[in-house]
Structure 1
Amino acid sequence: MTENKTSIFHGKIVELYLESVRLPNGAQAQFEIVRHPGGAAVVALDRDARVCLLRQYRHAVGGWVWELPAGKLDPGEAPSVTAARELEEEAGLRATHWESLGEIISSPGVFTEVVHLFLARDLSIVPANAETHEVFEVHWVPFEEALTRAVAGELKDAKTLVGLFRTRHRLEQT
């Protein structure tokens, strides 16, 4: 239970707090907690069993990262709405078939961020509308090749790895 919370930083996307808490074992601890509104990511599979991956520049990690189309939840926005919006904005795609692949917690020791994962199929092309601060390339990769690249360590983004492997599991059940 949080006993004391001090705001350290309030930015456009995240807030940083110093929180004093009493742990379940009775010990007192102090944590730096980054509060994030959460996000949604999409495994978009086309009729040829290819997955849409973005090769996106990420300054925080010093270069290019392979990722699923994804983005931050807007205030009051349902994760499914975020997923559909991001798929259109980043990949120029709309899907008529959606399935939840559950949630992941990106870094539970520091962040409150929860990422909601979705499988999107029955895709159609729409105009893309990427934001100016986003730099990426859209690629269509055979799904099995994406899994091989994930196992080999070429794909490193956690939401992308979990999304791909949960999709493989879902596809094996159908």
Structure 2
Amino acid sequence: MKTIADYIRTIPNFPHEGIMFRDVTTLFNDARGFRMAVDTLLHPFAGRPIDRVAGLEARGFILGGAVAHQLGVGFIPVRKAGKLPHDRISQDYTLEYGTATVELHTDSFEPGESVLIVDDLLATGGTAEAGIKLIERLGGKVAGCAFVVDLPDLGGRARLEAMGVEVHALCSYSGE
């Protein structure tokens, strides 16, 4: 039987020399693999009170939407700056070379609601940390974070767990 990692294509030296890019589009393209990923992402949170699923731009939209559908809850897009049309809050975060900003509509959920964050890959954890901060600033409770791929050597899991957030990943690649 195939594992999640079997559906993920590795592309050496993309986007830069020395990077092993983990391409999840091959996972999305396979009906069985995609179903397995969605079911496995939500499994640790099944039976818990989850009110919304937040997907981090952009592949988190694909996964988060599917997880929200399976859980029967609403979906929240955490977008890059300038993409949301209504009242929103922003959170800056650090990238390898500079900073970026993500935003969330201020009416995405009610204060006190439980939000599960979903994305394809956890590297340094900067984007996920920004998403957590946005949700908490609006009075939400982060139920946890679920990722397809974890790159543990880049420290994202430790960063999020240090914030008190539960982290689940379907597979990991060391040394990447």
Q: Same fold (TM over 0.5)?
A: no
Greater relative contact order structure (CA < 8 Å, 6+ sep): 1
Higher relative strand content? 1
Higher relative helix content? 2
Task: Give the number of the structure whose alpha-carbon radius of gyration is greater.
Answer: 1
Task: State the TM-score bracket (shorter-chain normalisation).
Answer: under 0.3
